[in-house]
Amino acid sequence: MSTWQEKLNRLRAEKGRFRQMGGPERVARQHAMGKLTARERLDLLLDPGSFVEIGLLAHHQSHHPDLKDKFAPADGVVTGYGTVDGRRVCVAAYDFTVLGGSMGEVGEGKVARLRQMALQWGVPMIWLLDSAGARIQEFTGSQFAKAGDLFREQVMMSGVVPQVAALMGHCAAGTAYIPALADFVPMVKGRSSMALGGPHLVKAAVGEDVDVNELGGSRVHCEISGCADVEVEDDEACLRAVREFLSYLPSNNREKPPVIPCDDPSDRYIDDMVNVVPTNPRQVYDMRHVIRRIVDHGHFFEIKPRWARNIVVGFARLEGHPVGIVANQPLYLGGVLDVDAADKAARFIMLCDAFNVPLLFLQDIPGFLVGTKVERQGIIRHGAKMLYAVSEATVPKVTVIVRKAYGAGYFVMCGRGYEPDLLVAWPTAEISVMGPEGATNIIYRKEITAADDPDRVWAERTAEFRKLIDPYIAAGYGYIDDVIEPGETRRVVIQGFRMAATKRVQRPWKKHGVMPV
């Protein structure tokens, strides 16, 4: 019979052994790659001393010849819960120093338990991904039949608790679908990737020679595919981004987003706003300068800043309350909407609505892109996603028409028909089915072609049409709520959100709509 002292010694020794992860050599290699270890990452992500680990003493139970003599502390994934800014979260940090952070049966059992807890407790689920993907030896042959429940569970969690999947290493297959279903996906620049099939599989399956960054690196997903949200410099910046993202969202869909103290005056007049936006509709500007002047302390957390740059989406605060911003970006493509921009906006609107974050729309929209290329890409279908998302959103919505509000672009950017709680325009607003030049070409085509001096007739008709698209006409009919000075924008939108804070919307019963994906 061992004594208490002996029992405690064994417990302490075991825990010490498991906390060493893959051992000093593998930890050194992880550091040499510019990466922190799973445990160091948790220290940075969570409030100091808040982490409670579950499953430290787990290890693989495989009898496979490749594995049976290998020690796998925590089975390659550190799991548990803790707090971020004092609010509880569940987190799974894949440990690349243990069998490449591969997803084994025991480890996945731990993560499954954590997912269940996150859902039942109503707290965010965070994955720090640095994993080779499924541990093939444990899923040999048709044992695979048991796998896959994690993605179904992620779908069940969607819109209930925030899900964050941070890519902090090279991830393939299994670990690439987790981000696909997550609400926020930061990627560490140059050191992370995701792909359904890694380079070896790609070579074998389709004969393509490609390196891991070219295939699914941070630049690919943050600039081309749109599968990730932000590219960050290193692990520290990545974990800061996760903490900031969570600061804008409630812990679950039944709560309101957290409010922080704010000393930026709510009625602050923005003197230099008129210097940002040219009155000449031919000239462009950077919409982010408008956003930063409106929001608290000029701080804007942009989502997908390098993908579909013709629309800007992201989080900020007004009077300390989180707000989601959807704004056209004249700097890119004049702010015209294409398939990717519509996808980007629709997904962001759905995220905000799911988690009770009010939406601010800033319109300067020349319309949807037209032509064979975009029609073949299905611009109608993609544009419909935005219509769908903005219609479904029942959170407070405030719309400011900065300049152009043309055609269906005006609709999807929360025009009058989409139930904004407040709809105001700057004196520069041009609300119209289309721009004067395009409209003239269509309405007066016969007259212009028959005229002796077509250019003069065209110019006259265009000037006449331009007079019809004046915000005072829309205001005169009561279709817009007010025409405001650009400098008043912060005060006016804050008042709108204050009034709409208690908004309740009843919708007809349905199982779910049919999203035009």
Partner 1 sequence: MIEVKAMMVGVVVRVDAGPGTPVDEDQPIVTLESMKMELPIPSPRSGLVREVRVHVGDVVQEGDVVALLEEREG
Q: Which residues bind partner 1 (CB under 8 A)?
A: 223, 233, 281-284, 286, 306, 330-334, 336, 366, 373, 435, 437
- Angstrom distance (rounded) from CA 139 to CA 32: 31
Tell me which amino acid residue 305 is: P
Nearer to partner 1, 153 or 231 (CB): 231
Q: Least CB distance from residue 373 to partner 1, whole Å?
A: 8
- Angstrom distance (rounded) from CA 326 to CA 316: 11
How many degrees, rounded to 5, is the angle at CA 215 between CA 210 and CA 218? 140
Nearer to partner 1, 57 or 331 (CB): 331
The structure tokens listed for 113 are: 């338990």
Q: Least CB distance from residue 282 to partner 1, whole Å?
A: 5
Nearer to partner 1, 80 or 366 (CB): 366
- Angstrom distance (rounded) from CA 119 to CA 254: 12
Question: What kind and span of H or E run contains 25?
Answer: helix 24-32
Q: Least CB distance from residue 391 to partner 1, whole Å?
A: 27
Nearer to partner 1, 349 or 413 (CB): 413
CB within 8 Å of 59: residues ≥ 6 apart: 18, 71, 72, 73, 74, 75, 106
What letter does residue 279 receive in the DSSP assignment?
A: S
Note the Cα 496 to chain centre separation in Å: 25
Q: Least CB distance from residue 89 to partner 1, whole Å?
A: 31
Q: Least CB distance from residue 459 to partner 1, whole Å?
A: 13
Kindly report each contact of residues 412-419 with a partner whose C-beta sits within 8 Å and lies 24 or more positions away, as own/partner.
412/337, 412/342, 412/345, 412/383, 412/386, 412/387, 413/326, 413/328, 413/361, 413/363, 413/365, 414/326, 414/359, 414/361, 414/390, 415/363, 416/479, 416/480, 418/390, 418/391
Q: Least CB distance from residue 434 to partner 1, whole Å?
A: 11
Q: Least CB distance from residue 290 to partner 1, whole Å?
A: 14
Q: Least CB distance from residue 437 to partner 1, whole Å?
A: 5
Question: What kind and span of H or E run contains 173?
Answer: none
Centre a 10 Å sphere on the Cβ of residue 10 and count the other Cβ atoms it contains.
11
What does DSSP say about strands 321-328 and 311-318: parallel, antiparallel, or unpaired? antiparallel
Nearer to partner 1, 159 or 190 (CB): 190
Identify which of 331, 413, 325, 400 has the alpha carbon closest to the alpha carbon of residue 367: 413
Nearer to partner 1, 31 or 373 (CB): 373
Q: Least CB distance from residue 336 to partner 1, whole Å?
A: 7
- Angstrom distance (rounded) from CA 276 to CA 316: 19
For residue 91, the cross-strand partners are 80, 126
Q: Least CB distance from residue 285 to partner 1, whole Å?
A: 10
